[in-house]
Amino acid sequence: MATLASQQYTVESPLEAIELCYRMGWTDGLPVVPPSQQRVLQFLEHAGREPSQPVLVEPVTGRIVTVEKAAINAVMAGCLPEHFPVVLAALEAMSDPDFNLHGATLNTGGSAVMAVVNGPIVQRIGMNSGVALFCPGNRANATIGRALHLVLWNCTGNRPDELDKTVMGHGGRYSMCIAEREEALPQGWQPFHVERGLPAGSSAVTVFTAAHPLQAGYHGSPDPKEILINVADTMTVLPPWNQELLMVVSPEILRHFDKARWSKADVGEFLFQEARRPGYAVRRAHKFRYSYHAQAAGDQDMLPVLDRPEALDIVAGGGEGGAFVLVVALYGNGIHSRSITREVQLKGTQEV
């Protein structure tokens, strides 16, 4: 049996266990599944990983999140053992220096960690990629996303009584995890993780620092241009030159793209050209804040929301009934933090 390093607490009943978690300040405000040693060992066994192995290092405080701590928090979030490899891959992705864990999770703006899952594991663990995509109801979506935030809460100081300085924040900080609806992708479009260089048929998770989402949509025309003009208009509340911006696109719109034979690159190019505001409006609204070439912008220049067409990440997802997109702005307009993709390692597959 694996040797565990965490301090132990003995309780007499499940209710006492839940209340102990509250008293110790271990919960996000909602009840947790008590992290019993027996349950944590099941998770470790399922993942086939050494409990002492680091999966996430907080770069400023030097705190190390081990596989064991990740498992304890995943249990508390309500995960099943088969969800745990996704949690581990997401935490490993969050360790990438380009994700900028410290700045991205400990700031005044209050971004959440949003996870997008791809590949066969989506079906295997029953994730939701469809109707009510960002809503409650699916255990895998809800608990994987919650596990990531409980790790931040309990391990890296992302809580108001430690290092969190968020002024407002949003509900995604409880949980913000979806699966890509790969079957809705137009002909010739690749799943998100495959675009990132992973093999087709692999499973992966991508983490984003989701500042806030903006919904847009137009049901009145099948013409991609008409739909995207509406989207572009919504996007223009954002500062110019986003280095990265995520857009989750519903199946109805994807069908219109498919019929019109639009590629992902076509969508990025159109929004790059269309989503623009004049320099004077951006300057007047003080939205140059994070923009690295603000000095050169003339008042009459039309400044693009996207730094370049490729700055747009497109993920398929959502319910059937409606031509909607969700535009998700990233922390610091994609300048301070970049999304990171990691393959989900399943037990026994590391050697293959």
Task: Kindly list the residues in this chain that would bind another protein in the complex (CB under 8 A).
Answer: 4, 6-14, 17, 20-21, 24, 26, 34-38, 40, 59-65, 68-69, 72-73, 76, 100, 102-104, 107, 150, 154-157, 289, 331-332, 335-337
For another protein, the closer CB: 8 or 350: 8
For another protein, the closer CB: 10 or 187: 10
Q: How far is the CB of 69 from another protein (least distance, A)?
A: 6
**How many Å is the maximal CA-CA distance in the chain?**
70
Which stretches within 275-321 are classed as H helix?
Answer: 279-284
For another protein, the closer CB: 16 or 310: 16
For another protein, the closer CB: 7 or 295: 7
Tokens matching residue 300: 């009459």
Q: How far is the CB of 103 from another protein (least distance, A)?
A: 3
Strand partners, 133: none
Report CA torsion sign: 176, 92, 205, 212: positive
Q: How far is the CB of 135 from another protein (least distance, A)?
A: 27
For another protein, the closer CB: 277 or 336: 336
Residue 150 CA to residue 214 CA, distance in Å, equals 25
Q: How far is the CB of 338 from another protein (least distance, A)?
A: 12
Residue 62 CA to residue 58 CA, distance in Å, equals 5
What are the two backbone dihedrals, phi and then psi, of residue 114, each rounded to the nearest 5 degrees? -105, 130
Q: How far is the CB of 237 from another protein (least distance, A)?
A: 21
Q: How far is the CB of 21 from another protein (least distance, A)?
A: 8
For another protein, the closer CB: 2 or 237: 2
Residue 163 CA to residue 167 CA, distance in Å, equals 12
For another protein, the closer CB: 100 or 129: 100
Q: How far is the CB of 251 from another protein (least distance, A)?
A: 36
Residue 18 CA to residue 26 CA, distance in Å, equals 10
* H or E element at residue 177: strand 177-179
Report CA torsion sign: 295, 301, 306, 310: negative
Residue 273 CA to residue 90 CA, distance in Å, equals 33
